[in-house]
Structure 1
Amino acid sequence: MQSASDSPEPLTEDDLPALARGCAILGTGGGGSVETAIPSALQALREHGPVRVVGVHDLDDDALIVSMSSIGAPTVGHEMLASAEQPKRLRDEVERMAGRPIAAIMAGEIGGSNGVEPVAWAAQLGLPLLDADGMGRAFPELQMVSMHVCGLTSDVVVMADVVGNVTVIRPIDAIWAERQARAVCVASGASSMMANYLMTAAQARQAVIDGSISTALAIGRSTAAGVGDPVGALASRLDAQRLIDGKIVEVERNTGGGFVRGSVVLDGTGADSGRMVRIEIQNENLVVFESGEVRASVPDLITVVDAQTAEAISTETLRYGQRVSVLAWACHALWRTPQGLAVVGPQAFGYHLDYRPIEELAHVGV
């Protein structure tokens, strides 16, 4: 465990580019495009100053932590931008119900815009941001968080949409939280903002993915301008397998039920000429197939990046003709436990296949 003196430095304007790059990579194609989150975070930092980042060890045991995130289809969130009033409405309702102030907010997931937007929310609310999240990446459904796997209940979900509606859901468990929150999200135009998992710091220490903001910053800095081989540097930083370099030749994407589902097909280029892979998507990149064989799958991370810059490409911005590289690397150890795999393994997404770690698949070949 870190000491308080090891806590991250406050987040400033200068940190946003690296944070956004790291969050985009950890988003595995989902979590929302960081491009829509950067302007609001930048404006909030300029108006309110740097955001203090705290670790779970920095807070008193009974301090109230709230997970906040956007929910919905990334294709919609890319066009329907959030209102600055949404996080305030969430804060007000949570504090009314809890009867005490929030001590810190936490990103529900570090991936994509859901890793960047909390910087704006923390600045606007004048609250610290926890150096942690519930996934260590991005997943598409509410129950797919470390808090659920570790036994915390999501018995209150507060949602605020862009037109001012505030909805409080009291589900019996995380599965019902996903069903009901998704229905409210769809009614709100497939994009909303959400607060859930009201935790004490003592509970959070046993249930969150620690150090995720610091991790995103480090990943983003590894691909900063001036790096000679950005994709190679990123793969090295992540200890990732470079599955294929290729050109996107087919994109199928459908929005419905609060998700984006589809697939993308890549034709290998250069040393990978003659190879073809398909990536299947539910907001995030889920499984990579080649010649009918699995090359990588959830819960391991699969990210599509620009072949020249190593900038991550979100699922809603994949286009025919893009030259890309596909990277895959190991997930947090929690997701490889039987309890974790039951929630986010391939079978949780409807695939009739057993999970095999990326390290094992890398030695199998095709």
Structure 2
Amino acid sequence: MRELTADDLGDLARGAAILGTGGGGDPYIGRLLAQAALDKYGPVPLTALDELPDDAEVLPVAMMGAPTVALEKLPSIEQVGNAVRALGEYRGKAATHIACIEAGGINSLTPVVAAAQLGLPLIDADGMGRAFPELQMVLPTLIGVQATPTSITDEKGNHQIVAAIDNHWAERLARSATVDMGCSTMVSLYGMTGSEARASLVDGTVSLCVELGRLVTSARNGTAPADAVAARLDGRRVFDGKVVDVARRTEQGFARGEAIIEGLDHDAQSRLTIAFQNENLIARRDGVAVATVPDLICVLDRDTGEAITTETLRYGHRVTVLVAPADPRWHTSDGLALAGPQAFGYELEQ
């Protein structure tokens, strides 16, 4: 077991933004929250997935809603912890461990906030190996872990518990509540045992985020940061260019839209269009799909290697677009049905 300290937060936020594939919320906001929590409560123990006892009570916590709204409606340390407390009280079992439900943006850092405030260890794992926009799109769904009961809290102090017949209904009901609460909430959900966590979570993703963040920083002195990230994730570059248009709207609790990137250098005379729903979903080069979910489509600043989230992408950004493979479980028939291109309305094969 090791500890997450304030010195790790910059790298954790930087790496989480890469795995977030454009979504998961602004990592800068998450870093500010985590910094405040660690300053107040001290470092957070990090527990390896294989160290979990079978009867551990694992409660993940995350932000739900449109990342564009979260830029202006900031959560508090107390709001994050309240979501976990409310779920534990409803289940009648206090949490023994905190987990990330997705490795991306703010949602790799809000669990650090909860763990620090509640004095609990954080598991070095997450439920996706990346970020996805909808609540049911996690690997625990594939082994039958129920999303509900789910606790939902807002910045005003309101909270509610959602119970649903399945994880798709959990998404619908929790999304409606989130819209009513201002399109940005904190949720605690997918309460599970230690044995269920070991069977369903993606191992080592918190440490991977920190590693990726350090890799980007060190690569600036030599190798192009994007190439270093691609090599670590077994991925590849698919495009270099300049953003010439971004159409973005907040709709049904999501940030939806598309970005158009004009090619530079070896990609000159081509255009890449990326469609997103919080996260980057599909990339088309000159109208032909070159990458789709569930694989990771990462948009990085061409010079610094910093990931650019969908809510901050803007005209003039010079970017490198990388594609990296998702956890193999996402490429099973059940995984593709849950979070493949057809799940988002794209009639494509992955």
* Fold equivalence (TM over 0.5): yes
Aligned to 2:199, what secondary structure does the other structure show?
Answer: coil
Matched, 1:267 2:272: no
Instruction: Give the one of 312, 315, 330 matched to 2:310.
Output: 315
Instruction: Give the one of 146, 150, 157 matched to 2:143.
Output: 150
Q: What is the Cα deviation at residue 97 of structure 1?
A: 2.0
Structure-2 residue corresponding to 1:187: 180
- Give aligned-pair identity as a percent: 46
Structure-2 residue corresponding to 1:288: 283
Aligned to 2:217, what secondary structure does the other structure show?
Answer: coil
Is 316-325 or 83-92 further displaced after alignment? 83-92
Distance 1:291 1:123 in 2: 47
Distance 1:23 1:13 in 2: 15
Give the TM-score of the pair, scaled to structure 1: 0.93
Structure-1 residue corresponding to 2:300: 305
Aligned to 1:172, what secondary structure does the other structure show?
Answer: coil
Give the conservation status (yes or no) of the 8 Å contact 1:67–1:195: yes
Matched, 1:133 2:126: yes
Aligned to 1:224, what secondary structure does the other structure show?
Answer: helix
Q: What is the Cα deviation at residue 133 of structure 1?
A: 0.9
Distance 2:279 2:124 in 1: 23
Q: Which runs of 5+ in 1 are unaligned?
A: 1-6, 356-366
Give the conservation status (yes or no) of the 8 Å contact 1:54–1:130: yes
Structure-2 residue corresponding to 1:114: 107
Structure-2 residue corresponding to 1:358: none
Matched, 1:252 2:242: no
Runs of 4 or more, structure 1, over 4 Å off, are none
Is 138-147 or 47-56 further displaced after alignment? 47-56
Q: Provide, for residues 293-319 of structure 1, a one-character-per-residue CA deviation record: whole Å limited to 9, x for no partner.
A: 111000000011000000000000011
Q: Which runs of 5+ in 2 are unaligned?
A: none
Counterpart of 1:115 in structure 2: which amino acid? Answer: S
Note the aligned Cα RMSD (angstroms): 1.1
Q: Provide, for residues 249-272 of structure 1, a one-character-per-residue CA deviation record: whole Å limited to 9, x for no partner.
A: 010001010001110000011221
Instruction: Give the one of 90, 96, 113 matched to 1:103.
Output: 96
Aligned to 1:143, what secondary structure does the other structure show?
Answer: coil
Distance 1:43 1:22 in 2: 20
Matched, 1:63 2:23: no
Aligned residues: 348
Is 96-105 or 180-189 further displaced after alignment? 96-105
Give the TM-score of the pair, scaled to structure 2: 0.97
Structure-2 residue corresponding to 1:213: 206
Matched, 1:341 2:324: no
Give the conservation status (yes or no) of the 8 Å contact 1:11–1:51: yes
Distance 1:87 1:23 in 2: 18
Aligned to 1:205, what secondary structure does the other structure show?
Answer: helix
Give the conservation status (yes or no) of the 8 Å contact 2:84–2:114: no
Matched, 1:171 2:142: no
